[in-house]
Amino acid sequence: MIGLDCCPATSPTARQHLYLYLLLLGSFLFACTRVARAQASPQPPEAPVSRAEQITAAEKAKAAHLRPVEAPHGEQVFIDTKDKVMKHLSVTSGFSLRLGGLPTGGGFSIGPRYTRSDLLHDQLVSDTSVVGSTKLWWRAQTSLAAPSLVNGHLSMKVDAAYEDAASVFFYGEGPTSSRNGKSNFRREFTTARFETAVHTVANRVGLGYRIGGLLANVGPGRYSDPPSTSLIYTESTVPGLDRQSHFMTGTGFVFLDFTKKGFSNPSGFKLQAENTQFWDKTWGAYSFDLLATQAEYDFTFANGMRTLALRARNETAFVDGHQVVPFYLQPTLGGSDDLRGYDRYRFYGNGASLVNAEYRWSVAEALEMAVFADGGNVYQRPGLIGFRHSRGGGGIGFRFKNKNATIMRLDIGASPEGVHVWLVFNPVFRKLPRAF
Amino acid sequence: MARLQSGFQKAASCLLVSMALIGGAAAQKQRFLADDPIARVPEIPVAYSLKVQQIDELYDFAYNSAHYKLPPPTPSLGINTLGEVPDSSWYTNRDLRRMTREQLQRGPRTSAGPVPPFTVVAAKTEGVTPGFRILDGRGHLFFVKVDPATNPEMATASDVMGALFFYALGYNVPENYILVAKPEDFGLSPQASITEPSGKNQPMRGKDLEKILNVVPRLPDGRIRVLASRAISGKIMGPFSYLGVRTDDPNDLIPHQQRRDLRGLAVFCAWLNHTDAKSLNSLDALQDTGLQARLVHYLVDFGAAFGSDSDIAKDPRHGREFAVPTDGAQLRQVFTLGLYFPDWQTVRYPSHLKAVGNFTAAAFDPGKWRPNYPNPAFLAMYPSDAYWAAKKVMAFTDDDIRAIVEQGQLSNAETVDYVAKTLSARRDAIGRAWFRRVLPVEGPRIEDNELHFENLGVRYGFTSVPSYGYEWFRWDNQNGTKEAVPTSHSTTVPSELMLGAGHKDQYLGCTIKDEGQPDLSTTVYFRADRGTWQLVGIDRTTNPPSLP
């Protein structure tokens, strides 16, 4: 055996011997290790001779590498994201985000919301929100409702709101108004209301009364083009333009719903009627009654996959003596919910009639298409109800739905005044437009 | 890196199981092993600490809806050398011919149902229909569901009938009972809680229970009829996925989309119109302990089968279209502006039989049937899987079907009759559709040196007796090779092959061909065993062609 300390470090021959020695030693140790490993490890098992042994061997092999079950990476990311987003959108009690909530034409709106639906064992619901839109419209509202008293036969609600519609379009009054007369104005409504309603026949029949107050203010719109309404119209042709009023209001309403739930649309008949009395408490010059009625009939066929839907609506203002209807409370036509081939708020008048017909076909559970025809006119006094100066149009629509409701609607309407594309998040033929 | 490892482990598992269960891997030259065909998959104890599997409903819908195209063909696994599914924690072969009427009607149910008094321990008011949980007089826990007011008896009957059919077909299902009781039979546990629509969980009051019971449809005598589904025993470990394997179950070796019992489930679901066949309607339960501990796989919730969609009659498109449009028929509806009417839109449903919902055999095409959204195992189904399942469906006689339908306790005899007849008609449609994709030869045996077998297509009257051709061969099991014996083209075993019949490890085979359909054949393999020939393997060609 050669000791390292016996070798002169400087001798080349001795160094070569040392390297050789280390190489041999390394080889010997490596060989010993392999032999030891080979002896320590069991012999490879013989190939299984039966199917049961084969399967058991595979199970045992897997058992040696088990790990906790977990969602695939994509699903985990989805779950985390969904939780974060839905936490803010689907809160039934607490703070969340509110999407929408402005009158039609307000643009995309969003804002904070605070709701409580767990008060008095879910009997009382409170809802407070502030939303602002891409068109700089604003609305703040709060409400407290008991929607299902006396086993669902009675509901009560109190609400208050401030709404600033910064750029409502106005084209002049009457059916012959011109597109060249397009203007915009700011409309501010501050309201407070109390409503009670009774519901019966399995919620198919309801009637109620709503009493409240409306503080109205109009001013220059936020757009310079089109110009502000006050720049091209006057109080003499457009009542209410210079003088704004505070109103007391009382609304009686009734609805009948004899529709049957269907696969893509309900079928049957629906009727709504609402009469709102406006008492002008400021000038005593703008008091009137607004009677609005709407009838809808849906006929489904092809196992519920096709629907013929018809709607007729009329809104007529009744005035006494020298009273006039302020332009900002007049019925209007034009937009995503009535005459879809015309600009939004295209026609103003003391009365408006509207008929719509749609042929809808369900393409898939999540998609329905429709071809539609719209017709209607506005008029200045009840005696002029009829078809004079009627405007018409038609188009095609795509409705994206879930099992219970329309989530989004893309309607393309055409008329002699052009083609309009509407992307909205409400069903067509919905409830009567609100008077204010 | 973790995902790479996971992928490697999955690949290794697949390789192992392919070797083990189809016996065709290169490492294993012997096609038939000593115990083939196995009747039961051996399973080892589950000793690993399992976690509950979470499957997000929306993700599952979105992911599978996006993967609606037919996947590249993959072999069916989880089968023995006869192409049958052996018993396992997934599946149990239940021979209908040996099941009595009582056994069919009892299914998995071990008792006559919940016994009073019924103590409500929890409830929910969110969702479309209310539901609650009760403890019965013996302390058994039941989940209670109700019918929609528009269709009394529909969903509850569907849940009971569905469970019994799937049980008879071989699956693990919960014990489902129709419970008819007076509202006052239900008491409230002092610890009962209720989930309000707001999502808040709070103590449940008598008023809450009253509110829930008030919406349950009443029988003429004032009693209510509900479904009581007994809680599955063991520790619930979440649903199973129809894709991949559980990483924590040593016995879960086969990717689920390749399991014949899950692929063939598509045919069963088509028969029963169980359109809601998704992961979330399944459950894994860890049952027993120690050496017997196994993860057992259940199908649950059959309220959306037959003509029911749980809370409403079934949407007529269900069973024919996915929720998200994927096929040409839907595109055609877009471009024809709704003037094209698919056949399912024009069939008539029995609108006067509210308990049926929308269920019909008209316009039922087994090949076009769809669940509500794509199911990876169903998409991967091959004609051989469908044939296996169709055989099971065809085994139900009209009386068997009626026996189970009667357990739905439908009060109107016309409804029972309609459902039973519809199921019989759909059964026959399934047999017709899938038997023509193979040469449906069953029960091959050699007796007195003659090959005997039965053609199921002929037996059920779907086809006349075809002209058969026979090609006999000697099978070298050690090398996996055939040696043709050209001297015989009849059912008689060739004399060359008869000589060694008493010898061990001697094999012969015969390819049976339908001479009218040359692309369809069935090859049967026999092994010499104590002087007789024992069936050991069956291969089938299919249309479309089999996998290599």
Q: What is the pLDDT of residues A370-415, one digit of tens each?
A: 999 999 999 999 999 988 999 999 999 999 988 778 889 999 999 9
Q: B463-477, pLDDT tens digit by residue? A: 999 999 999 999 999
**Could you tell me the pTM of the whole model?**
0.84
Residue B125 has a pLDDT of: 63
* CB within 8 Å: A52 and B53: no
Residues of chain A neighbouring B238 (CB-CB closer than 8 A): 69
Residues of A in contact with B324 (CB under 8 A): 364, 366
Considering the domain architecture, whether residues A196 and A122 belong to the same structural domain is answered as no
Cβ–Cβ below 8 Å for A363 and B333? yes
N- to C-terminal Cα separation, chain B = 34
The verdict on A283 and A385 lying in the same domain is yes
CB pair distance less than 8 Å for B42 and A56: yes
- For residue B38, the model assigns a pLDDT of 96
pLDDT of B299 over the 90 cut: yes
- Taking the CB of residue B380, how many other CB atoms lie within 10 A of it? 25
* Most confident residue range from A117-126, A189-198, B529-538: A189-198
Query: What is the pLDDT, as a whole number, of residue B239?
Result: 96
What confidence score (pLDDT) does residue B503 get?
A: 63
User: How many Å separate Cα A326 from the centre of its chain?
Assistant: 31
- Taking CB atoms and an 8 Å cutoff, what residues of chain B touch A117? 197-198
pLDDT band at B15 (very low <50, low <70, confident <90, very high): very low
Interface membership of B19 toward A (CB under 8 Å): yes
> At residue A306, does pLDDT exceed 90?
yes
Query: Nearest CA to CA, how far is A62 from chain B (Å)?
Result: 5
**In the prediction, which pLDDT does B135 show?**
96
A327 in the same domain as A263:
yes
Residue A279 shares a structural domain with residue A416: yes
What residues in B contact A263, CB-CB < 8 Å?
Answer: 315-317
Q: A25: pLDDT confidence band, cut at 50, 70 and 90?
A: low
Statement to judge: residues A125 and A192 lie in one domain: no
pLDDT at site A399: 95
Q: How far is A301 from chain B (nearest CA, A)?
A: 9
Cis peptide before B117 (omega within 30 of 0): yes
Residue B367 phi, psi dihedral angles, 5° rounding: -75, -20
Confidence band of B14 (pLDDT split at 50, 70, 90): very low
Q: Are B381 and B333 in contact (CB under 8 A)?
A: no
- Same domain assignment for residues A262 and A134: no
**For residue B150, which residues of chain A lie inside 8 Å, CB to CB?**
261
Q: Is residue A5 part of a domain?
A: no
Q: Which range (A10-14, A185-189, A301-305) has the least confidence?
A: A10-14
**Residue B337 is nearest to which of A79, A362, A371, comparing CB atoms?**
A371
Q: Are residues A199 and A100 in the same domain?
A: no
Which residues, in sequence order, are bridge partners of residue B447? B450
What would you measure as the largest C-alpha separation in chain B, in angstroms? 85
pLDDT for the residue A12: 40
Q: Which of A54, A69, A74 sits opposite B20 (nearest CB)?
A: A54
**What is the per-residue pLDDT for B79?**
97
Average pLDDT, chain B: 89
- In this structure, are A328 and A396 located in the same domain? yes
Does the pLDDT of residue B29 top 50, yes or no? yes
pLDDT at B126 over 70: no
Please compute the mean of the pLDDT values over residues A269-290 and round it to a whole number. 96
Residue A256, strand partner residues: A205, A271
Contact status, residue B204 vs residue B196, Cβ threshold 8 Å? no
Nearest residue on chain A to B14, alpha-carbon basis: A58
Q: What DSSP designation does B200 have?
A: -
Chain A: residue whose CA lies nearest to B17: A58
Chain A residues with CB-CB distance to B36 below 8 A: 51
Give the C-alpha separation, A324 to A331, whole Å. 13
Please state the domain count of chain A.
Answer: 2
- Is residue A56 domain-resident? no
Do A350 and A416 reside in the same domain of the chain?
Answer: yes
Q: Does A399 touch chain B (CB under 8 A)?
A: no
- The answer to whether B43 contacts chain A (CB < 8 Å) is yes
Q: What are B153's two structure tokens?
A: 């008896």
**Whether pLDDT at A88 is above 60:** yes
Interchain contact, A371 vs B36, CB within 8 Å: no
B193 touches chain A (CB under 8 A): no
Give, as one character, the DSSP assignment of residue B300.
-
Which of A116-125, A373-382, B203-212 shows the highest mean pLDDT? A373-382
Q: What are phi and psi of B331, to 5 degrees?
A: -65, -35
| pLDDT tier for residue B1 given thresholds of 50, 70 and 90 | very low
- Say yes or no: A262 and A409 in one domain: yes
At position A81, the amino acid (one-letter code) is T
Lowest mean pLDDT among A11-20, A264-273, B135-144: A11-20
Q: Confirm whether A72 is domain-assigned.
A: no
Rounded to 5 degrees, φ, ψ at A401 are -130, 160
Q: Do B321 and A365 touch (CB under 8 A)?
A: yes
Distance from CA of B472 to the nearest CA of A (A): 26
Report if residue A365 sits inside a domain: yes
Among B68, B247, B332, the residue to mutate for chain A (most A Cβ within 10 A) = B247
Min CA distance, A42 vs chain B (Å)? 21
Q: Which residue, B115, B134, B135, is CA-closest to B123? A: B134
Q: Which chain A residues have a beta carbon less than 8 Å from that of B349?
A: 303
- Overall fold of domain B441-540: Immunoglobulin-like (2.60.40)
- Nearest residue in A to B321, CA atom: A364
Distance from the B36 Cα atom to the nearest Cα atom in chain A, whole angstroms: 7
CATH number of the domain encompassing residue A136: 2.20.25
pLDDT at residue A37 is higher than 50: no
Q: Given CB atoms, is B33 within the 8 Å cutoff of chain A? A: yes
- The partner residues of A196 in beta bridges, in order of sequence, read A156, A209
Chain A residue with the nearest C-alpha to that of B37: A51
Examine the domain organization and report whether A302 and A394 are in the same domain.
yes
- Residue of chain A minimizing CA distance to B244: A72
CB contact under 8 A, B334 and A363: yes
What gap in Å lies between CA A174 and CA B396, rounded to an integer?
73
Among chain B residues, CA nearest to A94: B198
Q: Is the minimum CB–CB distance between A78 and chain B shorter than 8 Å?
A: yes
What pLDDT, on the 0 to 100 scale, is given for residue B505? Answer: 77
**Residue of B33, B47, B238 lying closest to A51 (CB–CB):** B33
Report DSSP state, residue B183: G
Is there a domain that residue A289 lies in? Answer: yes
Question: In the numeric block, which tokens belong to residue B233?
Answer: 């025993």
Q: Which two tokens stand for residue A164?
A: 């600033």
* Interface list for B 300-339 with A (CB within 8 A): 312, 315-317, 321-325, 330, 333-334, 337-338
Could you tell me if B63 lies within 8 Å of chain A, comparing CB atoms?
A: yes
Query: Do B83 and B261 contact (CB within 8 A), yes or no?
Result: no
d(CA A105, CA A343): 10
Mean pLDDT, rounded, of chain A:
87
pLDDT tens, B148-199? Answer: 989 999 999 999 999 999 999 999 999 999 999 999 999 999 989 888 665 6
Taking the C-alpha atoms of residue B384 and residue B505, their distance in angstroms, rounded to an integer, is: 28
Q: A66, B347: Cβ pair inside 8 Å?
A: no
Contact call for A66 and B247, based on CB within 8 A:
yes
Record: contact B197-A92, CB cut-off 8 A: yes
- Mean pLDDT of the A268-292 span: 96
Instruction: Please give the pLDDT value at position B4.
Output: 36
Burial, B58: exposed, middle or buried (Cβ in 10 Å; 0-12, 13-18, 19+)? exposed
The boundaries of the domain holding residue A272 are 173-180+187-209+248-424
Mean pLDDT of A222-244: 92
> What percent of chain A lies above the pLDDT cut of 90?
67
Concatenated DSSP letters for B64-110? HHHT-SPPPP---BS--TTSPPPB-SSB----GGG--HHHHHHTT--
Both A203 and A99 in one domain: the answer is no
Q: What is the pLDDT of residues B485-505, one digit of tens each?
A: 887 789 999 888 876 545 667
ipTM entry: 0.90
A44 contact B CB<8A: no
CB contact under 8 A, A82 and B58: yes
Question: How far is it, in rounded angstroms, from Cα A180 to Cα A184?
Answer: 12
Name the H helices within B407-483: 413-435, 456-459
Does residue A111 belong to any structural domain of this protein? yes
Task: Indicate whether A175 pLDDT > 90.
Answer: yes
Contacts of B345 in chain A (CB under 8 A): 302-303, 305-306
Domain boundaries, chain B: 1-30, 43-101+238-435, 111-164+172-236, 441-540
**How many residues does the structure list for chain B?**
548
Mean pLDDT of B246-252: 96
CA B525 to the chain's CA centroid: 28
Count contacts between A and B (CB, < 8 Å). Answer: 173
DSSP 8-state code for residue B287: E
- Contact flag B247-A70 (C-beta cutoff 8 Å): yes
Given this model, what pLDDT does residue A46 score?
56
Put simply, the answer to whether B59 touches A79 (Cβ < 8 Å) is yes
Distance from CA of B62 to the nearest CA of A (A): 10
Window 98-117 of A, Cβ < 8 Å to B: 117
